Amino acid sequence: MSKAPQESSVDYRPPIVVVVGHVDVGKTLMLDKIRGTFVAYREPGMITQHIGLSFIPWNAVERLAEPLLERFRLKGRVWIKGFLMVDTPGHAAFSNLRRRGGSVADLAILVIDITKGFEEQTYESLTLIRSRNIPFVVAANKLDRIYGWEPHENSPFLESFEKQREDVQGRVEEAIARIIEEFNKLGMEADRYDRVTNFNTQVPIVPTSAVTGEGLSDLLVILAGLSQRFSKEKLRISKGPGKGVVMEVREERGWGVTADVVLYDGVIRRGDTVVTMGMESPVISKVKLLVMPKPLDEMRDPEDRYMFMDEVTAAAGVKIVADGLDQVVPGAPVFVVPQESQLNDYIKLVKEEVSEIRIETDREGVVAKADTLGTLEAMVTYLRNQGIPVRKADVGNVSRRDVVEASIVRKKNPLYGVILAFNVKVPHDVEVEAMQYGVRIFRNEILYRLVEDFTQWYREQRSKAVEAELEKYIRPGKIKILPGYVFRRSNPAIVGISVLEGLIKPGYPLIRGDGRRVGVIMQIQDKGKPVPMARKGMEVAISIEGNVMVGRQVKEGDELYVDVPEEHALALMSQFREYLTEDEINLLKDIIKIKRRSRS
């Protein structure tokens, strides 16, 4: 078995860099180009299915980016050992990279398709980056797809850019400007990395191509520059027992269920006792094997064979082979227990860390379910940022208990008596029970879409509820009798009218500008067919019942108002003001004035 370097020879761990962005923007392909691997091509449909971990040593960065290191005077001045890269199918890896007091990730690469700009998961990833307060750089990828771009294999972006035609340079600048504009809308400053004047306040954008390798050396140099700004204390390795976080749990042929772990501090050894978290309770196990990919290789699909380690020092991506891992929850903390006598202390520590995420309150709110602890935390944060309260949040498939929780909420507030299921399964019997209780289950594998689906439904249902409530009240309206469109002068009067403001319905009483009642609308017809209402801008025929004759009480060209009872007007203004237009509010005020003047 190989043996990792001793603690005394490794003072600082490599920064942990998480790669995030919308699906199919080239995240894995970019890392493949840097490493010289072909992981992306072996993924179904070239879409990343599992979280990937790989170590890129600094000497490999120097080989790729030597000209730029010279240009930016970083040659020989970089003290970091390289980068531990965490690749992800979406944002899951980043949200799993959590620990008490902050994030395990030190840096992030937000990959954006330069030809498309911001997409759904771009916003989602950015929300998570900002919530963790992680420094990040934008890789504006697919530079080779800019019309007219002439590729220069593995060249720094600035070199390739200078060799392009002027019109191509213009198209690149336009694409970058669109990304900058979107950041500005979100209250953030951004610019092409070589024009950034303050890396503390501005987001650097590096145009890249995962296909040609252009700009990747620039990206690594910027990451190195950001890393150099860290306090060395931030990356110092402790000599204590290992601490990590579970990224993924899966079955491997010959090994059984394994856990891919990011070790962010300390040391883990073969034979160590570890404590992590299962679906229901802590999991205690003994490490049988520690397996790692070689440098510049990839955990989920190594080009070369795995290395079997006696011990591993942070920071590292390591596969743990041990018994009882099938119940472990991705996103759970992992602690090495140094002595048997301390086991209960570490069990308590795991429970405390997990309890920060499990949320259960008595107040109204949705039931949130996610596949991992990290994504659960991200989901709750995202929901609350959208103003959606959460009654209960938990990891795992939707259960009958979740349906009962949602049904309790539904009795008080039907709009919150729902289950939001993020990337988890809903068993058939649970789905049937939910239908019996009238509990709606929203499902999606993209958090942004899940919340969007729910909020759209919520708005629609709320709007229907409000409309049903508004039906109880007479709404304001103002009409004009169209000259030349008097079809019957009385018993009932039938006239053509134009709706100037608000709306009218059958049964609505009408008054003149002096407050005198002129009758009640019996029927509204549009093109000869009865309609339930007419809104501002419509021209229709109405019949008016009451003691009214056109030519006496009303004349052609007269403007009439809906006679809104004062108690209705007050209720509309106080309870439903947000659902009225500014014109309707002003019209209500006019009607109240007319009625009060007529009484004085």
Q: Which residues are catalytic?
A: 91
Straight-line distance from the first to the last Cα atom of the chain, in angstroms, rounded to the nearest whole number: 101
Q: Can you tell me the distance from the alpha carbon of 563 to that of 515, in angstroms, rounded to the nearest whole number?
A: 8
Beta-bridged to residue 98, according to DSSP, are 103
Q: Is 207 within 8 Å of 157 (Cβ atoms)?
A: yes
Q: Are 293 and 86 in contact (CB under 8 A)?
A: no
Question: Which has the closest alpha carbon to 559: 517, 516, 513, 491?
Answer: 513
d(C-alpha 219, C-alpha 198), whole Å: 17
Q: Are 354 and 406 spatial neighbours (Cβ–Cβ below 8 Å)?
A: no
Type of residue numbered 370? A
Angle at CA 577, nearest 5°, toward 573 and 581? 115
Contact 69, 75 (CB under 8 A): yes
- Find where tokens 């379910």 sit: 369
C-beta separation of 151 from 160 below 8 A: yes
Instruction: Tell me the backbone φ, ψ of residue 357, rounded to 5 degrees.
Output: -95, -40
The residue type of 33 is K
Q: State the DSSP H helix or E strand holding residue 344, giving kind and residue range, or none if neither.
A: helix 343-355
Secondary structure of 538-552 in HEC code, one letter for each residue: CEEEEEEECCCCECC
Burial 489-514 (b: 16+ CB within 10 A, else e): ebebbbbbbbbbbbbbbeebbbbbee
Amino acid at 98: R
**Alpha-carbon distance 559 to 480, whole Å?**
4
